[in-house]
Amino acid sequence: MKKRTELKISLALVIIFIVLHLSPQLALRTHVFVMGYPIKAIVTEIQEDKLVNGSDRQEFERVNKKVYLLTDPPIEKATQGELRRYTVKKVWLLYFAEFLGEG
């Protein structure tokens, strides 16, 4: 009985993880939420960064990434910097976000 409960919990966690990474926006919101900014993760708007220059654009396309901007980004507590730019990479059917930095 205990193993069955553990299996159900594990399966539920795997399903939740997959659902939270099915689109670039969900992956980005999940990443911002896990970084410690749950309200910003929910309320901010997400836009694709159209200003990525030619050489960077080719490199991002080669590794299956896109750059996204948060319109109302969270502010990092230590440096007071805006956490605005992120890359989102598609791996098979799932998307994974990562903070890109200032720029």
pLDDT at 101 over 90: no
CA dihedral 82, 20, 42, 89 (to 10 degrees): 30
pLDDT in tens, 15-73: 999 999 999 999 999 999 999 999 999 999 999 988 876 668 788 888 889 999 999 99
What local confidence, expressed as pLDDT, does residue 61 receive? Answer: 83
Residue 69, SS3 per DSSP: strand
**C-alpha 101 chain-centroid distance:** 14
Q: What pTM value is reported for the model?
A: 0.87
What local confidence, expressed as pLDDT, does residue 54 receive? Answer: 67
Rounded distance, CA 43 to CA 58, Å?
31
Contact between 66 and 48 (Cβ < 8 Å): yes
Contact between 28 and 68 (Cβ < 8 Å): yes
